[in-house]
Amino acid sequence: MGDPTKSGTGILGPIRDVQRRIRNLEKAVRLRLNVGGLFATGDVSAGGNVTGAYVAAYAGVSGLFVRAVLGITGRSGTFTDSVQSPGVRQNILTNVPVQMYVDADGNFGIAASTRAKKNIGSDYAVDMTKFLNITLKNWAYKDNPSSVGMGPIADDLDAAGLREFVIYSPIDGSIQGVRTDMLIVGLWSAYVQSRASTLKRISNQSHQVKTVTNMTALALGGTKAYPIVWDATFVDADYLVTASVYSSAGIPLTGVSASCLPSARTATGCTVQVTSGVTLLAGQTLVVEAIHI
């Protein structure tokens, strides 16, 4: 047998052919990467960085650092430390924006507020005594004094027992912040309670006036009791009564006092006692006014 190195038909011929094909393939891959981008039907992983104008994955992109100038797309992603978007503050939304939440596992999403998603419990009412005693504060962040704000402090809400308005760490239960979305619910509850109380008070409050004409004459220092029956029955006897005596010409008479006897006041009527400090002629008028409180 001859020297295989001197013949293209020996073993080195096929080896050189394979090497040439490999070099041509590497050139094609480099050209594809530099000009058209990287495309893979399987997984692409990197122990360092993956950068580009646009990084897309149907399954996932993994690496210590993934960066894209224009965008990163995919069905899901996990970031163990943080997510940052410097330009999001300039992205003004007008297409029916909704509030985004972060759950205890770090997932982003919107809150479910339908009966289909919830087991509905009893009616909620904020503790007005605790809620309205919380003092709002002006504050600035210690690590960024130029960032200021105002509002309740999470520690104060927790100390007051208003835990429904406090964010706690899912890891150790420490106080993290204020649930500002729930504060709106608290204010709503406080307003409804206050409004309902006001309406109830107004509905229970009524005003009635009774007039007694042709009063009998009284001597100096004389007294007389006049029974008063209201046209409508009050809810209870908790009403204020004022009484005055007028002349036949409608002029208030001085020296004559009239007051309701507390022991004779009921929801249906009261007794007004008139005491004359002067000689009271007959035919005068007693006006009694009651306002329910």
- Mean pLDDT per block of 10 residues along the chain (293 residues) reads 52 79 72 55 61 63 66 74 81 84 85 88 91 92 94 95 94 94 90 86 79 94 95 89 93 93 93 94 95 85
Distance spanning both ends of the chain, measured CA to CA: 127
Query: How far lies 289's CA from each of 126, 262, 274, in Å?
Result: 39, 15, 14
pLDDT of residue 202: 72
Residue 64 main-chain phi, psi, to 5 deg: -70, -30
Predicted pLDDT at 35: 47
Q: What is the pTM of this model?
A: 0.49
Give the pLDDT confidence score for residue 85 in this predicted structure.
Answer: 81
207-292 fold: Immunoglobulin-like (2.60.40)
Domain ranges of the chain: 9-73, 115-203, 207-292
Question: What is the sign of the dihedral through the CA atoms of 68, 71, 76 and 79?
Answer: positive
Of 193, 82, 139, 181, which Cα lies nearest the Cα of 155? 139
Classify the phi-psi angles of 58: left when phi > 0, otherwise alpha if psi is within -120 to 50, otherwise beta: alpha
Confidence (pLDDT) at 9: 55
Distance between CA 112 and CA 218 in Å, rounded? 77
